[in-house]
Structure 1
Amino acid sequence: MSTDPNPFPMPVERLRAEVAAGRIDNVIVAVPDLQGRLQGSRLDGEHFCERVLVDGFAACVYLLAVDVEMNTGPGYAVDPWAAGFGDLNLTPDIRTLRELPWDPGTALVIADAHRPDGRPLGFAPRHVLRTQLDRLAQRGLTAYAGTELEFILFRDSFQEAHDRDYRGLRTATRHNVDYSLAGVTEVDPVLRRIRREMTRAGLKLESARGEVHPGQYEIVFRYADALTTCDNHALYKTGVRQIVTQEGLAVTFMAKYDEGEGNSCHVHLSLRHVDGTPVFAGDGTGDRAGMSPLMEHFVAGQLAGLRELTLLQAPNINSYKRLAPGAFAPTGVAWGRDYRTCPIRVVGTGDSLRIEHRVAGGDANPYTVVAAIIAAGLHGIDRELPLPPAQSGNAFTATDLPRLPGSLAEAVHLWENSSLAHDAFGQEVVTHYAAAAHAELTEFAHAITDWERHRGFERL
């Protein structure tokens, strides 16, 4: 048995021993929902070991057909009302089993969703990503990814924020602390706790620093195979919220909290042969220096699919407040060599050569984000798409570039009418994620905003 108190993944034999000794008394079985949140149940440790490891655990199908408020309805690939709110089966993926340092006596495992007859639920985010990884595997390839996720930390608790209607909140730092060492001193104890406990939970820390918006922070973990990275990302967001709650603070991963800088989720991704050999490095010259033909096609596929697959990168109305001119987020379709104004940035050399996909915000579902990147890349590889010249100027201000969708309504229209999306993901997935977007749009259309009240209460 390992002497490390928190080895990851946790061997089942160790879990059984910890449960028998009373050191772990419950196991969380969680499934990523359409928003990328972990949803599930706490199970008695003995019951999990005796029954759930073998049979799985039943949960209501509506978990994968709801909006952020947990409301459901018709239009999804599975209509929970028409299905009588029946069950799906959550099958634990033992490779994700780990202890939670911030929740003593608790282990967590991420599960895959299956229909009662055993078939995978095709629109479940984890399966959406698996499908694209399987397509890569058919070509002898695998994907490695890393996510750079930002959040804004507040001195107020979640309860206080709610009671104040999320107005007048105090950010944890008072000004721009981008790369500042002294600027985060006051909040470093909680940030240090987050870093330390994520490491104990199996994430491999690379770097951490303050960001531009007051209270904003970014922690970067080492890349891994794409599925592991997305699982870690979902766990990280859940864990950060739980840790800051215990500290009496609050945090948001909203793409755009206010008029200041938004929360991004930049994704670094490269491909390898299944034997581990990198495939992006090659003999390209000029702005393609060091790139292989396969990488050129992969990047060209990103450009070809960027507009049509934006929905999977930016799934909420608020997402597009970040993807706006002047918001230091991409708005034009372009690629560049170490150009942060482009949505597709090529960075690194040799074995570390990779793309940085800069469209997604902190609100995005990591599984669908990475699935979209792979699908677009395969579109370029399979069709041997030529790579246009790299962007040589500021892509934020360039007026001759195709534009990313400017709204959720435009993004879902492009998604529903995309042959690329239908070919790569299938009708069921296209329908399901379009329904989620339409539900978001419908709810917003019914809402009365502060902007409307401020503009019209007296003067209209």
Structure 2
Amino acid sequence: MDLEELDVAVDNGSIDTVLLALTDMQGRLQGKRLHGRYFMNEVVDGGSEGCNYLLAVDVDMNTVDGYEMSSWSSGYGDFVMKPDFRTLRRVPWQPATAMVLADLETTDGEPVPASPRQILQRQLARLAEHGLTAYAGTELEFVLYRDSYEEAFDKGYRDLIPANQYNVDYSLLGTARVEPLLRRIRNDMYGAGLLPESAKGECNFGQHEIAFRYADALTSADQHVIYKNGAKEIAAQEGMALTFMAKPNAREGNSCHIHFSLRNADDRSAMLGDGPGHLSVTGQRAVAGLLATMREFSLLFAPNINSYKRYQPGSFAPTALRWGVDNRTCALRMAGHGQGMRVENRVPGGDVNPYLAIAALVAGAVHGIEQQLDLEPEVTGNAYDDATAGRVPSTLREAHDLWAASAVAEQAFGAGVVAHYANMAAVELAAFDAAVTDWELRRGFERM
């Protein structure tokens, strides 16, 4: 939609509510529901204020220490949510509702550097200095349950009933069992301006993936968070629950493979060429940069304790920091042909914040281009067996330490952003270290 269409819709009553949304550190939509006429009269020009603790809380919305931008000592002030009207759209799964995403400013009109959307925008601006534009597509997997979210909560998330009771990877019979929900999600997302391509079953019981058309990097990240939030809302309306967490059980985890490519000013591929893997010099340097920064940027690809449970040998979740042409054992898989050629980063899980993950890809590519890095030989066999390969960090603690000490991260993102997201990981680690888990109780309650 554009503003004129929204104004007409508010006047005729077909839209009465506008969601003004920001994306928080955890990749969730937060914000306000505004009356349509109030939005048109007051918010269009001036934005709307919200507490700056929205970028300084944990996943349970607890206020925590360690953030420079927001704290008890600074009084937990406001920032301003400024609508980006390029993102304005209808929300078909909610009655008479539209949505617009926001960028953040301080009350003095300064940008908020730790805002995930603005972190990505900053990296895209760096890339543009090289005459390049980034395109991306995210492939989110989820596990669907017959239980509602409330029932799952009351059951302590145990003994849930998966929507499928066996592996339905590519099965048309298996996916037909939940096609009413999958179809509604696809069609409602289309109504919101996204371009769904397909839905398919995956390996875990009740696991599915809905794929969408790629777009420029910022648009792709915007659509990712809208889809993720909307899919949960639609599932809840249907009395079901779905989860994007990276490893919801001992079977296959939820991945979020990110397809990434670069284009020149003429809108042609900057990665296609005559080198290894049909890569240009720019493409080779970009992929080399992705490999060189992968460990230090892992916090942006795998931001939670649970993220690292997904990395298991032979599980299609990569552990070896290698690249290969159509090789799913590598962290970076070259996919597609001709102008459609791109690199697929197989490291992120379904819990990823897309703005941060794509920003890490852009920053890695810029690093490789600026440092003119040479690309190592491709892997043609099983990269899991490569004893010389660098590895994805095995824990959030290791990823935190790599990120916090990274000179490349500080140069690319700034010391303030590095400190902000290092603190996010430190908060999660402290909470987990203090928790008594079911695993400990089962092993120790009687037998120790």
Specify if TM > 0.5.
Answer: yes
* Partner Cα distance (1:80, 1:240) in 2: 33
| Aligned residue identity for 1:130 | Q
Q: Who is 2:106 aligned against?
A: 115
| Aligned residue identity for 2:259 | H
* Partner Cα distance (2:71, 2:15) in 1: 34
Q: Which structure 2 residues correspond to residues 3-402 of structure 1 after superposition, within 5 A?
A: 10-284=1-275, 288-402=276-390
* Partner Cα distance (2:296, 2:278) in 1: 29
| Aligned residue identity for 1:344 | L
Q: Does 1:447 align with 2:438?
A: no
Aligned length: 448
| Aligned residue identity for 1:137 | A
Structure 1 position 401, deviation (Å): 1.2
SS of the aligned residue for 2:235 comes to helix
Q: 2:419 aligns with which of 415, 431, 436?
A: 431
| Structure 1 stretches lacking a partner, 5+ long | 1-9
TM-score normalised by length of structure 1: 0.96
SS of the aligned residue for 2:278 comes to coil
* Partner Cα distance (1:324, 1:310) in 2: 16
Q: Does 1:408 align with 2:396?
A: yes
* Partner Cα distance (2:407, 2:342) in 1: 27
Structure 1 position 38, deviation (Å): 0.4
SS of the aligned residue for 1:193 comes to helix
SS of the aligned residue for 2:268 comes to coil
Maintained 8 Å contact 2:28/2:229:
yes
| Aligned residue identity for 2:124 | L
Q: Deviations over 1:325-377 (max 9, x none)?
A: 34321111111111001010111221111100110000010000000011011
| Aligned residue identity for 1:328 | F
SS of the aligned residue for 1:267 comes to strand
| Aligned residue identity for 2:26 | Q
Structure 1 position 393, deviation (Å): 1.6
Moved over 3 A (4+): none
| Aligned residue identity for 1:232 | Q
* Partner Cα distance (2:181, 2:251) in 1: 23
* Partner Cα distance (1:77, 1:149) in 2: 33
Structure 1 position 22, deviation (Å): 1.2
Maintained 8 Å contact 1:415/1:421:
yes
Q: Who is 1:3 aligned against?
A: none
Structure 1 position 12, deviation (Å): 0.4
SS of the aligned residue for 2:364 comes to helix
Maintained 8 Å contact 2:119/2:355:
yes
Q: Deviations over 1:131-168 (max 9, x none)?
A: 10000111111101000000000000000000000000
Structure 1 position 78, deviation (Å): 1.3
* Partner Cα distance (2:284, 2:69) in 1: 38
| Aligned residue identity for 2:144 | L
| Structure 2 stretches lacking a partner, 5+ long | none
Structure 1 position 398, deviation (Å): 2.5
* Partner Cα distance (2:436, 2:277) in 1: 52
* RMSD between superposed Cα atoms in Å: 0.9
Maintained 8 Å contact 2:277/2:325:
no
| Aligned residue identity for 1:90 | M
* Partner Cα distance (2:294, 2:256) in 1: 16
* Partner Cα distance (2:201, 2:170) in 1: 5
Percentage of pairs with the same residue = 53
Structure 1 position 432, deviation (Å): 0.4
SS of the aligned residue for 2:177 comes to helix
